[in-house]
Structure 1
Amino acid sequence: MEKIYFKSDPKRGGDLGNYWHYLLGYFLPVINYINTHKSEIQAKHLIFDSCNPLSDEILKEYLQSTDFTHSFEKLGPKSIDVPRKDWKSLKGKVNRKLLQLELLLRGSHASIFTYHQFRKCGKQLSVPRWDKYLDQYGKFLPETQELISKMVEELKTWADSTNSTHRSKILVLKRADPPAITQTEAGQEARWLPGYGTERRSLREPEKLVSQLLALGFDASLFTPGDHNLKSQIQAFSAANVVIAIRGAELINMLWMSPGSMIIMQESADFSNEAIQVKLAKAFHLQLHILPHRGEISPEADYSLVKKHISKTNKWNS
């Protein structure tokens, strides 16, 4: 049986060991391709670039609902390391300004979008990196924006989001502990960002915040995205009107929320760069409020500020 290899492109996007970059930089482009080329690839064996056990499970879960024969192989490196000194250097800043000017002048013909489509070399397809668009320019190509919105609705249907078992209007996110597999031989060889979930940062005392919101009559519950498969995450976020969380990759799940929904994001001293979540929220017409930290990596959300944001309208009440 003829094989087709879907290789990630580590040179034109963020680290694919990260859920945020994996979803935008590999998962969504890949499922769009296989759904729009069904007749062309139906009789072929699809080989997907293995990143790490958790990321691979996301794509495997979706592929179970298809008839494609497939497997996973490690086809190359998954990350690109951009030295901090280069990012902050005068040369780096000038280059980014020039890229922004090029976008202003050339629009969708700017050089970064040269890699918008899949590139084929023999039996190998190089997967486009849609995450790069937000990182560099703060927005998607109009056609990419339309495509992702269409795919989001299709995935919500695939996940049967209307029958969610997680129907709370307000979700307070709890980061997952590092999975046991990170300590295994296979896990050690896989690509991960340094530190996983609570090992890196977390929202302190999220259970306390849920109790405070329940006491006020809000329909709130605790949700740990890392403990759930993709379908369950889509179901939970599509049912929520408000999500409260520490800044982190889990917030890529805001994609599944309805326009006008609210994200309250607690900042962390772990970051010094601009929050990518702001750009995604703007792209998909979501309200995003940022709670400042006080020099802590894992701060507790300021309850008075949370209450202020969600009490502006009765829409969030149970």
Structure 2
Amino acid sequence: MHEKSQIDRSVLLFPMNDGRAGHFYHYMLGYLMPIVISPHRHAGRVSVVSVGLLDRITHEVLADDVNIIQEPDITKTGYPNLRNRISKFFGNSAFRPFATRTIVKWALSLALRTYKLDRLLVLDSFDDPLLYQRDRISVFRDFVEKRLAGKIKALKMPKDKPDVVLIERGQPHGYYAEVGRTSGGQRRSIPNIDSLHERLKTHHKTEIFNLEDQDLAMQIAVFRDAKVVIAQHGAALTNIIWMRPGSLVIEIVPPDKVPEKSGQEFFSRLAREMNIRHQYIFQEHEHAELTQSQMHQIEAVLVQEID
């Protein structure tokens, strides 16, 4: 009987991400990056599991490299709920990650039969801050930038490129309401961000961007050209990886998002790993207006950085 060659085999790649793959941060570092840098991406006819709304970015970056299949019901919503139940049952036992991977592999074996795939390959993910490594993030970044170079060049960006970029959290896509999750401005917001914009643009080339529903090419272009990015804590700051070394991120962070240990330093740690400078502005709560003192603090930083 003829045995299939490696190139004829159909492979399902499944990144074992640390959080919901439908969340932009976990999608980028816990789903897309493992798939892009995996040597198994060329191991045959490759399929990946759908992550809903963000499938559009998978298509944007990988085009026809992969086939997207629907996720089995048992692991739907990204398997964190399943993982959390296992965590409660096993506590800090060393058996916990083994149990999680075993159950997920079993669930995905159903997908293999449904879609007539030959092989399941579970990939390690990199959305745990303790796993950031500049070298492998750079491999991912370089691949994506090369793939999207033509699209980025064709974008209609401001002719006079801003030195300072403000990121506004917009209203969430209806998809998130349909799957019972909050996103964007529902989670956190800066009600007077327009006032900050007006104040800063009197002295600096400043633009405000809302990245909700934007293609990845646009997000790359916005972050890559900025000297300073000012944004509230949120998934958009994953785009730090596109910034030029030596540029600055000012992260506006509410009390519940101030990292208490290194494993919670999502964006400050990511910035350090990519040679990006990082500063915090501490917000009173997740929907608090910036005070005059906080705005003055931001202005003082910009005077040192740009003037």
Coarse TM-score class (shorter-chain normalised):
0.7 to 0.9
> Which AA in structure 2 matches 1:21?
H
Unaligned runs of 5+ in 2: 1-7, 110-117
> Which AA in structure 2 matches 1:211?
E
C-alpha distance in 1 between matches for 2:209 and 2:280: 20
**Aligned residues of 1:8 and 1:126 also touching (Cα < 8 A):** yes
C-alpha distance in 2 between matches for 1:235 and 1:56: 20
Report what 1:146 is aligned to: 135
Moved over 6 A (4+): none
Match of 1:19 among 13, 24, 45: 24
C-alpha distance in 2 between matches for 1:250 and 1:51: 17
Match of 1:32 among 31, 34, 37: 37
Deviations 1:14-72 (A, max 9, x none): 23232111111110111223xx456542xx2x32111222x2221121122xx435233
Report what 1:263 is aligned to: 249
CA RMSD of aligned residues (A): 3.2
Per-residue deviation, 1:74: 0.6
Report what 1:123 is aligned to: 119
Report what 1:59 is aligned to: 58
SS at match of 1:311: helix
Per-residue deviation, 1:8: 3.4
Per-residue deviation, 1:125: 1.3
* 2:161 equivalent to 1:156: no
* 2:288 equivalent to 1:299: yes
SS at match of 1:227: coil
Report what 2:201 is aligned to: 214
Report what 1:244 is aligned to: 230
Unaligned runs of 5+ in 1: 97-110
**Aligned residues of 2:9 and 2:43 also touching (Cα < 8 A):** no
Q: Which moved more, 1:157-166 or 1:197-206?
A: 157-166
The sequence identity of aligned pairs, in percent, is 20
C-alpha distance in 2 between matches for 1:69 and 1:283: 29
* 2:276 equivalent to 1:286: yes
Relative distance call for 1:285 and 1:69 in structure 2 (3 A) is closer
TM-score (norm 1): 0.73
TM-score (norm 2): 0.75
Report what 2:266 is aligned to: 276
Per-residue deviation, 1:299: 2.4
Relative distance call for 1:79 and 1:304 in structure 2 (3 A) is farther
Deviations 1:131-160 (A, max 9, x none): 12x1xx3x53xxx53121132133223332
* 2:12 equivalent to 1:5: yes
